[in-house]
Copies of this chain bind each other. A is one copy, B any other.
Amino acid sequence: MAFEVRFEDSRTRARVGRLTTPHGAVETPVFMDVGTLGTVKALEPRDLEELGTQVVLGNTYHLLLRPGAEVIAAAGGLHRFMRWDGPILTDSGGFQVFSLARMRQITEEGCRFNSHIDGHEFFLGPKESMAMQRVLGSDIAMVFDECLPYPCARERAEKSVEQTLRWARRSKEEPHAEGQQVFGIVQGGIHDDLRRHCAEELVAIGFDGYAIGGVSVGEPEEFMYRAVEASVPFLPKDSPRYVMGLGVPHQMAECVARGVDMFDCVIPTRIARHGTAITRHGNVAIKAAKWTFDPGPVEEGCDCYCCRNFSRSYVRHLLACDEILGLRLLTIHNVRALNRFMEEMRSAIAGGTFSEWKEQIRKETTNNE
């Protein structure tokens, strides 16, 4: 098996695992950095290595539009194009087609849509998505699915889950890149029985891992955990589980307690560009005037290049002047902050102190400014 559970928490469903891919092993629970257009925004591959990033996520939709399949095929795949030698996970593009593009037509084969960049017409369905992910050569490909919005009426959700399951089957049948794992996606919104049904059907098809989709789409926090609780018990224990689009520390800890192994989110890089630092004591607006003279690092005790070298005063000044270095330093810090967070989490699980650690985290990190 590509996934090995190495430690299990005795009081929760949390576990430490190792996922083996053609580009190396991934220690789970893992937070994956989003590299939308073939770059984790403002960072280089050497930065990601230094920061302890294990997996980069590529967006099939964005890369299909720019630079397009031909350019990446000519480069020999996304790893070579962006020069990242570690594992890459690609999404299917379904989420972006439904949320970003101007939709023209949805059929059993997929979606006809216009690019949100230049209006150019594209078609993306399970066949096209898997073909593009084959070109990208990702280590982990995601099935093409429909991500349900929140809220979503029962009838709509039922139909959508069946569509997602048919697309999952087609995605599985398409040819994949050598060594490429394929993950199914459990949908079903807030309807527990639909989640269970979707999970069971996906397991019957058989995938290398399972995502829990339609989480972190604007629903209250308790619905997020309920969606996880309604899905995980029906997924194989020996397969990785992945909650897409989630990157808030205490929420990741809660999901891990419910059996989740993988996460991704644009949060660390996006809020860095808006001047916000992720710290163990909540998010901190470094641009604030109160840091004007502050000689301390962005976060005490952090081992990143930003915190080892620069003062809040300096970083605040750079941000106030819209200097690229300011957002780059905060991006470096935020990526490292989440990677450190996951390292700590893995240690806590392996050391049998996960529940206490999680409770402490909940108290500390929800102190956002």
Contacts and interface: CB of A to CB of B under 8 A. Distances in A.
Contact of A74 (B38, B293, B321, B329): B293
A293 B69 CA distance: 11
A39 B314 CA distance: 10
A46 B44 CA distance: 14
A277 B54 CA distance: 32
Nearest to A40: B325
A66 interface: yes
Interface string A60-76: 00000011001100110
Contacts of A321: 37, 66
A41 B313 contact: no
Nearest to A42: B324
Contacts of A305: 44, 46
Contact of A323 (B41, B292, B318, B325): B41
B313 A67 contact: yes
A295 B80 CA distance: 11
Give the interface SS of chain A, mostly helix, strand, loop or mixed: helix
Contacts of A44: 305, 325, 328-329
A81 interface: yes
Contacts of A310: 83
A317 interface: yes
Given A320-B66, A320-B67, A295 B75 contact: yes
Contacts of A293: 70-71, 74
Contacts of A292: 67, 71
A257 B25 CA distance: 57
B324 A81 contact: no
A244 interface: no
A105 interface: no
Nearest to A332: B44
Given A37-B323, A321-B37, A325-B44, A314 B74 contact: no
13 contacts: A38-B314, A38-B317, A41-B324, A42-B324, A45-B309, A67-B313, A67-B317, A71-B293, A74-B295, A81-B311, A81-B314, A82-B314, A324-B324
Interface of A: 37-39, 41-46, 66-67, 70-71, 74-75, 81-83, 292-293, 295, 305, 309-311, 313-314, 317-318, 320-321, 323-325, 327-329
